[in-house]
A and B are shown apart, each in its own frame.
Chain A
Amino acid sequence: MLDVLSVCRNFGGLPALSDVSFSLQRGRVTALIGPNGAGKTTMINCITGVDIPDAGRVDFAGEDITGLPAYQVARLGISRTFQNLKLFPRLSVIDNVLCGLTVQGGQSMLGALLRPPRVRNRERRLRLLAMAALDRFGLTELADWPVDVLAYGDRKRVELARAVVSEPRLILLDEPVAGLNHEETSTVAKEIRALRAQGYTLLLVEHDMDLVMRVSDHVVVLDGGRCIAGGTPDEVRRNPLVLEAYLGRTGAMA
């Protein structure tokens, strides 16, 4: 589905990613984990076209997408959420979710100005899709609220709805449970499993080990910009390199 092949990225001579390779399987949940500064966010940025790798390539569904601008990557069917939430504060909840449908293109300035029946029907259809996505995440009641008055957990769900509404081929979740309490975290876990059950492919970047172990099929571990391990959650949990990366090199706790 997605193949990352020997990707390198340096920032001013400091390697943020060196020779990282891994693959995502269609219909599976893959988790990308690692300590702070391991290069997880850089990796996501290189996949989504926000950043360009210095070397290596990224293939999506057999197509080389390395260096494509972010909006084109999005239109190929890769959607994402952001670590620190990037919602549009001036728009209502439903309009934020509708923004997730921009990837479908087909919007001309002239059509938007004149709003012929074709455009009007399209808008109606998009609105139904957005309402369905809101319903799925239990946000129907909040549809017309401005997003900046919502609770943090609700805003996270709005962003998730926005990422899912276009039925993308791949969803990247950048720390979906950061800042959420225990209860909200299990809701997100349930939602991730539901998405997987529907056949979605997900890449999960997360610090919460408990969540990673509960929902992932495959785990990739980054440390210091290198890929140090990969395998099922159980394999990774037992891998001494991973324990060392997370718990330090003294070995006292391992």
Chain B
Amino acid sequence: MDIHDRILYFLDLHRNGLTVLALSLLLAVYPLAYGNPYILGLTNLIGIYTIVVLGLNLFIGYAGQISLGHAAFFALGAYGSAVLTVKWGVWPWPAIALVALATAMIALLVGIPALRLHGHYLAMATLGFNIVIYTVLVQWDELTGGPSGFAGIPALSFGAWQFDSDLKLHYLVWSAALICLMLGLNLVRSGVGRGLAALAGDEVAARSLGVDTRRAKVKVFVLSAVLASLAGSLYAHTFGFVSPDTFGIFASVDFVTMVVVGGLGSVWGSLFGAALLTWLPEFIDVFESYKDIIHGLILVLVLLFLPKGLVTGLIDLSRVRLARWRQRRA
């Protein structure tokens, strides 16, 4: 094969590794040139959402399930870290781990009965869970600060060195997000990932191939809850303030929209979906007041015209175009 083919083959073989490398370089360099704290605050939020959306994408996109309650796990992480560090004086790092563990337990307790349900019923069950958690956040004000929120969450630190500026937080958040993305890429290339795809494709066939579908569903649900919890903890320590509004059912719907827009079953799509839907409202003012309507509209349009999501859909589309173009040239 000639050099041209070799290069293409190399790129294709190492596409994930190369994408990670390119993205890391970009993320490492751009804040030095473009260190506007407002923009960094926004990209930090994107990094945090990417982690939630990745977990949710494994659950919805790969395993073919549905959850309209992932903002609740995000909330458990954020409020867990806030309460543990401020009220009980636990160190932030171990608090993150403890909260993630507790969230995993809760996800297990919710998941075992809820994941016997399918489709709309599962959506309703997870939505109900989100409403319960949201109500607790609003009502239990001596612990959570109620509707006005919870302030004064300490920054993360190594000894005396604190993650107290947007720039430092940028590196922290995006290291976490990139690590999670790489773990996700590993998962979907493994036997476990194929088991999940099998389960999404046809449960009877998956079982006949030795996949314990009930367990597999619970496991990926717990994994996605843990990712949401970690993202929640990061959110709390990044912004120092949490309030219930960030964690309502519309936040859950936004996460699902990010998954769908980015691409069902696409690890990189998670990043793209989170970025697009977090960034768009900053550019277009109408978004501010009609956010939910516009998100709904985007969701419907994407599902109608690019059911695999924007990234996956556009890649497929360009592949077809490329193949046709090559055919014409040949």
Same complex:
yes
Interface stretch of the complex, out of A8-16, A101-109, A234-242, A246-254: A101-109
Question: Counting CB contacts under 8 A, is A151 at the interface?
Answer: no
B183 touches A102 (CB 8 A): no
Task: Note all chain B residues with C-beta closer than 8 A to A102.
Answer: 191, 194-195, 198, 209-211
* Closest A residue, CB atoms, query B188: A112
Instruction: Pick the contact of B209: A74, A95, A109, A119 (CB < 8 A).
Output: A74
Question: Counting CB contacts under 8 A, is A98 at the interface?
Answer: yes
B208 touches A80 (CB 8 A): yes
Task: Note all chain A residues with C-beta closer than 8 A to B204.
Answer: 50, 70, 86
Contact A71-B190, Cβ < 8 Å, known A50-B204, A86-B205, A113-B183: no
* Distance of A96 from chain B, by nearest CB (Å): 9
B190 touches A123 (CB 8 A): yes
Task: Note all chain B residues with C-beta closer than 8 A to A82.
Answer: 205, 208
Question: Counting CB contacts under 8 A, is A75 at the interface?
Answer: yes
A75-118 residues with Cβ-Cβ distance < 8 A to B are 75, 79-80, 82, 86-91, 95, 98-105, 107-109, 111-115
B189 touches A86 (CB 8 A): no
Question: Counting CB contacts under 8 A, is B201 at the interface?
Answer: yes
A100 to B183, CA, bound (A): 24
Task: Note all chain A residues with C-beta closer than 8 A to B186.
Answer: 112-115
* Distance of B317 from chain A, by nearest CB (Å): 14
* Distance of A248 from chain B, by nearest CB (Å): 34
Beyond A86-B204, A86-B208, 7 extra complex contacts between A and B, CB < 8 Å: A69-B207, A71-B212, A88-B197, A88-B198, A91-B197, A91-B198, A102-B198
Question: Counting CB contacts under 8 A, is B303 at the interface?
Answer: no
A107 touches B192 (CB 8 A): yes
Q: Interface size of A by Cβ–Cβ distance < 8 Å?
A: 38
B192-241 residues with Cβ-Cβ distance < 8 A to A are 192-195, 197-198, 200-202, 204-213, 219, 223
Contact A99-B219, Cβ < 8 Å, known A70-B207, A112-B186: no
Task: Note all chain B residues with C-beta closer than 8 A to A119.
Answer: 190
* Distance of A120 from chain B, by nearest CB (Å): 9
Select the residue from B198, B212, B213 with max chain A CB neighbours within 10 A: B198
Task: Note all chain B residues with C-beta closer than 8 A to A126.
Answer: 191
B198 touches A99 (CB 8 A): yes
Question: Counting CB contacts under 8 A, is B309 at the interface?
Answer: no
Q: For chain B, which range describes its interface: under 10, 10 to 19, 20 to 34, or 35 or more residues?
A: 20 to 34
Select the residue from A95, A100, A113, A162 with max chain B CB neighbours within 10 A: A113
A126 to B213, CA, bound (A): 21
A109 to B212, CA, bound (A): 13
Question: Counting CB contacts under 8 A, is A216 at the interface?
Answer: no
* Closest B residue, CB atoms, query A172: B208
Question: Counting CB contacts under 8 A, is B244 at the interface?
Answer: no
B210 touches A86 (CB 8 A): no
Instruction: Pick the contact of A112: B191, B206, B211, B213 (CB < 8 A).
Output: B191
Question: Counting CB contacts under 8 A, is A30 at the interface?
Answer: no
Contact A86-B194, Cβ < 8 Å, known A71-B210, A102-B210, A112-B187: no
Task: Note all chain A residues with C-beta closer than 8 A to B212.
Answer: 69, 71
Question: Counting CB contacts under 8 A, is B265 at the interface?
Answer: yes
A64 to B6, CA, bound (A): 55
Task: Note all chain A residues with C-beta closer than 8 A to B192.
Answer: 107-109, 112
Interface membership of chain A positions 21-61, coded 1 if the CB is closer than 8 angstroms to chain B and 0 otherwise: 00000000000000000000000000011100000000000
* Distance of A113 from chain B, by nearest CB (Å): 5
Task: Note all chain B residues with C-beta closer than 8 A to A105.
Answer: 210
* Closest B residue, CB atoms, query A106: B191
A201 to B16, CA, bound (A): 42
Instruction: Pick the contact of A74: B187, B200, B207 (CB < 8 A).
Output: B207
Closest 5 CB pairs of A and B: A103-B210, A88-B201, A86-B205, A112-B190, A70-B207
* Distance of A214 from chain B, by nearest CB (Å): 27
Task: Note all chain A residues with C-beta closer than 8 A to B202.
Answer: 86, 88
B208 touches A70 (CB 8 A): yes
